[in-house]
Homo-oligomer: A and B are copies of this chain.
Amino acid sequence: MELTGKNLIGNELSATGTNRFQAKNPSDNTQLPVEFSEAESGEVDAAVRKARSAFSAFSTAGVEARADFLEAIGDEILALGDELIARCHLETALPEGRLNGERMRTVNQLKLFASLIREGSWVNARIDTGDSTREPLPKPDVRQMQKPLGPVGIFGASNFPLAFSVAGGDTASALAILQAANKTGMPDGVFSMIHGHSEPGRLLVMHEEICAIGFTGSFQGGKALFNLANNRRVPIPVYAEMGSSNPVFLLPGALKERSDSIAKGLAASVCLGAGQFCTNPGLLVSQKDNDDFTRKLASALEEQQPGTMLGDSIRENYESLSRGMASKTGVTQQTSMAESNVIANLFTTEASDFLADKTLEEEVFGPSTLMVSAGNKEELLKLAASLGGHLTATIHGTAEELEEYADLIEILEGKAGRIIFNGYPTGVEVCHSMHHGGPYPATTAPQTTSVGTMAIYRFTKPVCYQDFPQSSLPVELRDANPRGILRLLNGEYTRS
């Protein structure tokens, strides 16, 4: 596993730009070997043009070939062995156990998508057969299915170096992807990786051949890309997953029954990965008489090990936001302030103060959480209704309370992509049913997900064929249905 620091423009290594940067080990602040070359405009352009050239061959490659490619990527990532995990750990300070888990998730994700495209029903094939005798006008034969959008640009996320970045994470996985592409006969340009700070990103979003953007990161970053993309000559979708403070509603019955276990569970969830999860529970809402629970949660948080954050700027941001939170009107810090702030923080405030200051809802990226006390159910519902968009919302309650608070669920359906009962929002299961997304400002595309098989629809669009001869139709839309996929045929779902 050799790192060159060069950009990968399809199969070519390239370092024609003049800017260089190095990764830093966040644990000891030392610079890590290999200078990375920031992509210059010619390299961004070359990568996108290669992708455009590869698009036709890749999108018309058989399903088996594409599924083999995905599985081969998984194999090649695994073949990198512990060297990959070691380098990821050096760059991110994430524990090796966590990175091993993330690698397995990444590989399983690739396998899941391979099986999804092999099974084939995802294309949403729909057929309405024609009727030339219909009056007053003949009925045409109309068929539709999902087809790929075109070349897309994806911005990696430092908190998930594997699962949310280079389909797996960094240069090593990128090389594994290229290796897999070559082994499975994929066209040059099917994958490129360019490094850099904001300028290569801007060039990528503005490139006329790019059809969509995926991004995971800060609100400022995602919103900037969204604005750029909407102001292109041809606007393109930006699937940006941004900040979220993931409200957790702690109903009285639950706190009465299980305050110890909820305090421990929440503390672990808040501190998981040094709090650097998009689903980190940064906002807790409970009703009055919660002092006992507050003390338990503060202790549980103080018992958590301090974590090392992903990098200087993220740590400095956390420290600054934490100081800011401590100084806000009506906010009390319940955890002791340590030398370094990269320990968990619990803040408390009243619903009235929360309702008066919208900034209290904003994400503090790191192991911090704010508990808001509502006077009664009515105020709790008012607070829920005031929320902006979040990736998740959680309710801890008894089964009876969940029925009693049906109006809370209804409100949260409008506020979050996923609602969790008696659990913790961290941990996003990769499956068909997962929706990892949510209303703005949690994402810029609330109707789509970044996790689970529904994510495939971010990069496809319907194409409709009218009165086409069988031989010119995509195989998924031919009468014979040779792949046996589920189709909507004249209004009935069938595999025949």
Contact of A444 (CB < 8 Å), options: B235, B418, B457: B235
Q: Contact between B444 and A454 (Cβ–Cβ < 8 Å)?
A: no
A63 at the interface (CB under 8 A from B): no
Interface class of chain A by DSSP: mixed
A429 to B134, CA, bound (A): 12
A462 nearest CB neighbor, chain B only: B435
In residues 136-150 of chain A, which contact B (Cβ within 8 Å)? 136-137, 139-140, 142-144, 147, 150
Contact of A464 (CB < 8 Å), options: B101, B419, B441: B419
A420 at the interface (CB under 8 A from B): yes
Q: Contact between B421 and A437 (Cβ–Cβ < 8 Å)?
A: no
Q: A418 — which chain B residues lie within 8 A by C-beta? A: 463-466
Q: Contact between B150 and A419 (Cβ–Cβ < 8 Å)?
A: no
A46 to B393, CA, bound (A): 30
Contact of A447 (CB < 8 Å), options: B437, B446, B457, B465: B457
Q: A413 — which chain B residues lie within 8 A by C-beta? A: 147, 463
- Given A101-B136, A142-B431, A432-B126, A462–B423 Cβ distance below 8 Å? no
Q: Contact between A471 and B403 (Cβ–Cβ < 8 Å)?
A: yes
Q: Contact between B472 and A402 (Cβ–Cβ < 8 Å)?
A: yes
A467 at the interface (CB under 8 A from B): yes
Q: Contact between B237 and A421 (Cβ–Cβ < 8 Å)?
A: no
A468 at the interface (CB under 8 A from B): yes
In residues 436-466 of chain A, which contact B (Cβ within 8 Å)? 437, 439-441, 444, 446-447, 449, 454, 457, 460-466
Q: Contact between A421 and B468 (Cβ–Cβ < 8 Å)?
A: yes
Q: A493 — which chain B residues lie within 8 A by C-beta? A: 121, 486, 493
Q: Contact between A420 and B128 (Cβ–Cβ < 8 Å)?
A: no
In residues 383-411 of chain A, which contact B (Cβ within 8 Å)? 388-389, 399, 402-403, 406, 409-410
Q: Contact between B137 and A421 (Cβ–Cβ < 8 Å)?
A: no
Q: A465 — which chain B residues lie within 8 A by C-beta? A: 418-419, 421
A140 to B433, CA, bound (A): 11
- Given A433-B126, A463-B419, A469–B399 Cβ distance below 8 Å? yes
Q: Contact between A440 and B402 (Cβ–Cβ < 8 Å)?
A: no
Interface size class of A (residues with CB under 8 A): 35 or more
| Minimal beta-carbon separation of A233 from chain B (angstroms) | 9
A356 at the interface (CB under 8 A from B): no
Contact of A433 (CB < 8 Å), options: B142, B227, B444: B142
Q: Contact between A433 and B464 (Cβ–Cβ < 8 Å)?
A: yes
A40 to B432, CA, bound (A): 47
A463 to B454, CA, bound (A): 12
Q: A437 — which chain B residues lie within 8 A by C-beta? A: 462
Q: A417 — which chain B residues lie within 8 A by C-beta? A: 462-464
Proximity bits, A221-262, B CB within 8 Å = 1, else 0: 000001100100011010000000000000000000000000
A62 at the interface (CB under 8 A from B): no
Q: Contact between B128 and A429 (Cβ–Cβ < 8 Å)?
A: yes
Q: Contact between A137 and B427 (Cβ–Cβ < 8 Å)?
A: yes
| Minimal beta-carbon separation of A418 from chain B (angstroms) | 4
Q: A234 — which chain B residues lie within 8 A by C-beta? A: 388-389, 439-441
Q: Contact between A461 and B433 (Cβ–Cβ < 8 Å)?
A: no
A81 at the interface (CB under 8 A from B): no
A422 at the interface (CB under 8 A from B): yes
A140 to B426, CA, bound (A): 12
Q: Contact between B441 and A128 (Cβ–Cβ < 8 Å)?
A: no
Can you pick out 30 interface pairs between chain A and chain B where the beta carbons lie within 8 Å of each other?
Answer: A56-B410, A126-B432, A128-B431, A140-B429, A142-B431, A144-B454, A147-B413, A150-B414, A226-B235, A234-B388, A234-B440, A402-B469, A402-B472, A406-B472, A409-B472, A417-B464, A418-B465, A419-B464, A421-B466, A421-B472, A423-B466, A429-B466, A433-B464, A434-B464, A439-B461, A446-B461, A447-B460, A447-B462, A486-B493, A493-B493
Binding site for B on A (CB under 8 A): 56, 60, 101, 121, 126-128, 136-137, 139-140, 142-144, 147, 150, 226-227, 230, 234-235, 237, 388-389, 399, 402-403, 406, 409-410, 413-414, 416-423, 427, 429, 431-435, 437, 439-441, 444, 446-447, 449, 454, 457, 460-469, 471-472, 486, 488, 491, 493
10 additional A-B pairs beyond A417-B463, A454-B462, beta carbons within 8 Å, are: A56-B410, A128-B434, A140-B429, A142-B434, A409-B472, A417-B464, A420-B467, A432-B488, A435-B463, A486-B493
By Cβ-Cβ distance, the 9 closest A-B pairs, closest first, are A435-B464, A418-B464, A126-B433, A128-B431, A142-B433, A420-B466, A435-B462, A128-B433, A230-B230
